[in-house]
Chains A and B, each alone.
Chain A
Amino acid sequence: MSLAELPLHAFERPASLAEACATLSRRAGKGEETVLVAGGTDWIVSQRLAPLSLGGELPLVLDVSRVPELLGVKIAGERAVIGAAATYLEVRHHAVLTRRVPMLTAMARDVGAVQIQARGTLGGNLATASPAADGSAALMALDADVVLASVLGERRVPIGQWFTGYRRTARAADEILVRVEFTLPKSGAHQLWRKVGTRAAQSISKVALAAVGEYERGRCVRVGLGMGSVAPVTVALPTVRALAVSPGPLAVPDDQLDAAVQRDIAPIDDVRSTAAYRAHVASTLVRGFFRTLRPVSNAG
C-alpha cells in the first residue's frame, strides 16, 4: 500500500438523520465500529499519522457532512441553533451571530485558515474533544446544550457534562451529534475571545479563553467562561465564575483571582508549550477579562 493512500474503509453517505441513526444502531448492536466524518480535518489527519489498523475490521465511515438535520445556523427568538455539520465559515459570516456573539465569530475566524474553516465544524470540534479545541471553549462560555439523536429519540447534554475525559465525551456509540443550542448573550454583554498561539493562522492554541459577562441594572449577573489547552478537557473555570458574581469583579483582588484560576486548571508541558507558561497566560487572560467587567468609567 502506498503511504499516499488511506486504508480503504467502507463508506456510506446517509440521506437523513433517521438513516444515520438506523445504521449506527444496527452496527453498535453488533459491536461494529462506525466513524462519523464531517469536515474530516481531524480524523483524516489521524489516519495519516497511524494509517494501518492492525488486525480487525476497519470502521465504517459515515459521511454526515450533508445530513439535512445537521446543517445550517438558525436563530429562534433568543436561542441560537447551530447544526453539528455547519462549518466555521458559516458561523464566521452569520449576521446575527456576528452582532450578538462576536466572541464566537472571532473564534471561528481564528480557527486554522480559510481552508480549514470551510470544512471544520463545531460538531466535529465537540465530538473529537481535543482539550485544545477552540470551538469547545467558546461553546463552554455560552453554556451550550449538545443535542444527540439515536433511534430512541433526542437527548440533551449540558456542555458542562459533555467532556468525560481526555478526548472522551458523553456520546454513546449509537448516537449522533445533531446540533448545539445556546441562549444569545444579553445585549451589552462583555465578550472576549483570546487565542494565544505561535502565529495568527493555522496554530493550535497554547491557551485560549472565551468569556461572556452579562449585566442587569449595572450588576454582573452571569459570567460564562471556557478555557482550552490547560487541562485534559475544556474547562469552565467554575471558581472564577463564582467570584465574578460574588463578591463581583470590582471586589476580587488579583491574587485571589489568580488563585481561583490555578485551582480550575491543570496545565502540562507538551510539544506546544509548558505548564508554567500556560499557568501564567491563563491568569493574565482572566485578569484582562475581569478588567473589562469593571466599570472603569464609573469608578473614578
Chain B
Amino acid sequence: MNVRFVLNGRPAAVDAPPSSRLLDVLRGALGLTGTKEGCGEGECGSCTVLLDGAPVNACLVLFGQVEGRAVTTVEGLGDPEHLSPLQEAFVKEGGAQCGICTPGFLVSAEALLAAIPQPGETDIREALAGNLCRCTGYQRIVEAVRAAAKERTSREPG
C-alpha cells in the first residue's frame, strides 16, 4: 500500500505494508535510523517521534495509520551542521552519554518546548517521564532542556 504523509516537513509516499510498525518503515525503507528501538512495547520512549506534533512511540503506530498525517523524527530537528537549540544544549550540558535514548528525549523535549516555552522542572520531568535513560541519571537532561528553553527565549526578537 502506498502511504502518503508528511515526513520532516516534506511530502512523502512510501510503499510498505500498512500493518508494519511506523518504526520499521522509518528505519528500514526510509533509512532514518536516528529513531531507535529500545523495548518495542511503548515503555522506554527511544522511538519517540512527533505525529501531528504530539510525541508518540513509533513502535506502537501502524504505518497505515499515518496516511495524511505529519511525522517528525529526530532527523527533522536539525542536522550535524545545523543543530537545533535543543541538540546544542544536550551537547553542552552533557545530556547525552551512550546516546541510544537521546533521539527520543530530543523529540519529547521538542514537543514540550512547543507547548510550554518556559517549562518548570515538574513540566520537564513529566514530559520526559516516558523516556528512559540508564546513563545520565536524568539531571543533565533536565538541565539541557532548561538551557535550551532559555536560549530559545533569548533568540526571540523583542
Cβ-defined partner of A48 (8 Å) among B41, B55, B129: B41
Cβ-defined partner of A41 (8 Å) among B19, B24, B42: B42
* Total B residues in contact with A, Cβ cutoff 8 Å: 33
Segment at the interface with A among B59-67, B76-84, B133-141, B143-151: B59-67
Question: Who on chain A is nearest to B61 by CB?
Answer: A40
B54 & A44 in contact (Cβ 8 Å cutoff): no
A13 & B64 in contact (Cβ 8 Å cutoff): yes
A115 & B24 in contact (Cβ 8 Å cutoff): no
Mark out the residues of chain B between 96 and 135 whose CB falls within 8 Å of any chain A CB in the assembled complex. Answer: 108, 111, 126-127, 129-131
Cβ-defined partner of A11 (8 Å) among B48, B60, B64: B64
A299 interface hit (Cβ, 8 Å): no
A61 CA to B17 CA in the complex, in Å?
A: 12
Is the interface on chain A under 10, 10 to 19, 20 to 34, or 35 or more residues? 20 to 34
Inter-chain contacts of B48 with A (CB < 8 A): 115
A251 CA to B24 CA in the complex, in Å?
A: 60
A89 CA to B48 CA in the complex, in Å?
A: 16
A128 CA to B79 CA in the complex, in Å?
A: 41
B62 & A40 in contact (Cβ 8 Å cutoff): yes
Inter-chain contacts of B61 with A (CB < 8 A): 40, 119
- Report if A48-B17 is in contact (Cβ < 8 Å); known contacts: A63-B65, A118-B54, A119-B61: no
Inter-chain contacts of B43 with A (CB < 8 A): 202
Annotate B5-35 by CB proximity to A: 1 below 8 A, 0 otherwise. Answer: 0000000000001111100100000000000
Interface residues of A (CB under 8 A from B): 4-11, 13, 37, 39-41, 44-45, 48-49, 61, 63, 65, 89, 112-116, 118-119, 200-202
16 intermolecular pairs with C-beta atoms under 8 Å apart: A4-B24, A4-B37, A4-B40, A5-B21, A9-B19, A11-B64, A44-B60, A61-B62, A63-B62, A65-B65, A112-B42, A115-B108, A116-B60, A118-B51, A200-B129, A201-B129
